[in-house]
Chain A
């Protein structure tokens, strides 16, 4: 008999959250969540682990073009599927075209000036986090300006977000998860050039 779910909702969720917290506090800092992702027998184990850490029945979510993942996230967390304009979390797992991503970024919940926390967080799966594309990042969590190398896909998503982003503090936060079960975050104040 094969066990399909061994993610520890207490300790694995805690360790994954700490890595996520440090990633959010230090943009573009990568953390391995291999152990936590191993709790799910799925190619998208890392995404499921992140979803299980953050979501519950008080949360709404939207998964773009991946019905199986949408069902699994609901099964594991009891979170409520919703339209992307109303979702607390939006999951992108395929390499979508940029126009599609732009639409999602611009129409997702941005929060309000009074309640900027009522905004959407994107959890984006991509084949890898490192790449040949050079970028310079700045903002809270970064000591001055930092040169990084990432993929064109990630850099373009960050650029698209900057283009559509409303006045701070409104905005969306991005969490990238790779096929190698690495995780990094790009909060709304992080500028990528």
Chain B
């Protein structure tokens, strides 16, 4: 742990934490609404998870157990560096076990194992504004949210259908929260989107570069945007299994054997895969 004489616990000064905490409470009280906050400078570039890090640093305590994943992986550069940083300035225990963690910070995935009531999932968000694809001006999108004026978004999805025969958004599929706000669920795959609905855990979303915080409390209605006759579909992994642990019905990464060119699959959630292998699961 770094020298407490020179750095505050959890790096941020208490005034910064207080402001972020107030924003978090408002975000929880107004699910799906993007609460503006004064994003702080961190020893990591904006766009590398600073929103998620600031939330994590504002909620974390000495007793917490932290897990950090990047695209499902515990061992990628972004995840490892964030873990090192938070651990250095808090001294908290680090884990790769989703069930053992009290706080999970993640980029672009939600863990396979359903999270429990007291757990908090912090998602890093690059582009929090779901309406940005239809309207570049922040003042206008803010007004659209205020008035619940989402017809341009629906029109975009409809145009997508006409052009491609299906809605082409793969990750960060827009969702409607409590029948009020359209929200960007961060670039999680479609497979993870239904996990946001009626969950047991609390989801917190942080966008450091865009200076926005939003949240989904437990047991909140979160529905992907869909037409009555064109239902929302997730990625289909039928007939595929992880080549390491044999898992089926989970989100898989597609890999290619460089020598033979054959495709094979691996669990995206490395902590889940490792735990299964520890339990003796094999392909």
Residue ranges of A at the interface with B (Cβ–Cβ < 8 Å): 9-11, 13-15, 17-18, 20-22, 24-26, 53-56, 58-59, 112-114, 116-117, 119, 121, 140-144, 168-169, 173, 187-189
B residues within 8 A CB of A21? 21, 24-25, 28, 59, 120, 202
Considering the complex, give the chain B residue whose CB is closest to the CB of A190: B29
Q: Total number of A-B contacts with CB less than 8 angstroms? A: 107
Tell me which residues from 12 to 38 in chain B have a Cβ below 8 Å from any Cβ of chain A: 14-15, 17-19, 21-31, 33, 35-36
For residue B217, CB closer than 8 A to chain A, the reply is yes
Tell me which residues from 163 to 186 in chain B have a Cβ below 8 Å from any Cβ of chain A: 178, 180-181
A residues within 8 A CB of B220? 140-141
Contacting pair B219 A140 (CB below 8 A):
yes
B residues within 8 A CB of A54? 18, 21-22, 25
Closest chain-B Cβ to A115's Cβ sits at a distance in Å of: 8
Cα A121 to Cα B62 with chains together (Å) = 28
Which has the most chain B C-beta neighbours within 10 Å: A13, A14, A187? A14
Contacting pair A117 B118 (CB below 8 A):
no
B residues within 8 A CB of A14? 9-10, 17, 59-61
A-B contact pairs, 29 of them (CB 8 A): A11-B9, A17-B21, A18-B59, A18-B61, A20-B25, A21-B25, A21-B59, A22-B118, A24-B29, A26-B218, A53-B18, A53-B21, A54-B18, A54-B22, A54-B25, A59-B22, A112-B146, A113-B146, A114-B145, A116-B30, A117-B23, A140-B217, A140-B220, A141-B218, A144-B219, A169-B180, A187-B28, A189-B29, A189-B30
Contacting pair A117 B26 (CB below 8 A):
yes
B residues within 8 A CB of A53? 18, 21
Tell me which residues from 119 to 139 in chain B have a Cβ below 8 Å from any Cβ of chain A: 120
Among B27, B30, B180, B217, point to the contact of A26 (Cβ < 8 A): B217
Among B14, B31, B217, point to the contact of A9 (Cβ < 8 A): B14
Contacting pair A11 B62 (CB below 8 A):
yes
Which has the most chain A C-beta neighbours within 10 Å: B15, B61, B118? B61
Closest chain-B Cβ to A109's Cβ sits at a distance in Å of: 12
Contacting pair A121 B9 (CB below 8 A):
no
A10-B14 contact given A21-B59, A117-B30, A189-B29, CB 8 Å threshold? yes
B residues within 8 A CB of A113? 146-147
A residues within 8 A CB of B31? 140, 189
Considering the complex, give the chain A residue whose CB is closest to the CB of B60: A14
Q: A11-B9, A17-B58, A21-B202 are in contact. List 7 more A-B contacts (CB 8 A).
A: A11-B62, A17-B21, A21-B25, A114-B142, A117-B26, A141-B218, A188-B30
Cα A24 to Cα B14 with chains together (Å) = 21
Interchain residue pairs A-B with the least CB separation, the first 7: A187-B29, A113-B146, A117-B26, A140-B220, A114-B146, A25-B217, A141-B217
Which has the most chain B C-beta neighbours within 10 Å: A9, A10, A56, A173? A10
B residues within 8 A CB of A168? 180
Contacting pair B14 A17 (CB below 8 A):
no
For residue B275, CB closer than 8 A to chain A, the reply is no
A residues within 8 A CB of B10? 14
Among A17, A114, A144, A173, point to the contact of B29 (Cβ < 8 A): A173
Cα A10 to Cα B217 with chains together (Å) = 25
Closest chain-B Cβ to A112's Cβ sits at a distance in Å of: 7
B residues within 8 A CB of A15? 61
Cα A1 to Cα B145 with chains together (Å) = 56
For residue B8, CB closer than 8 A to chain A, the reply is yes
For residue B117, CB closer than 8 A to chain A, the reply is yes
A residues within 8 A CB of B218? 25-26, 140-141, 143
Cα A116 to Cα B221 with chains together (Å) = 20
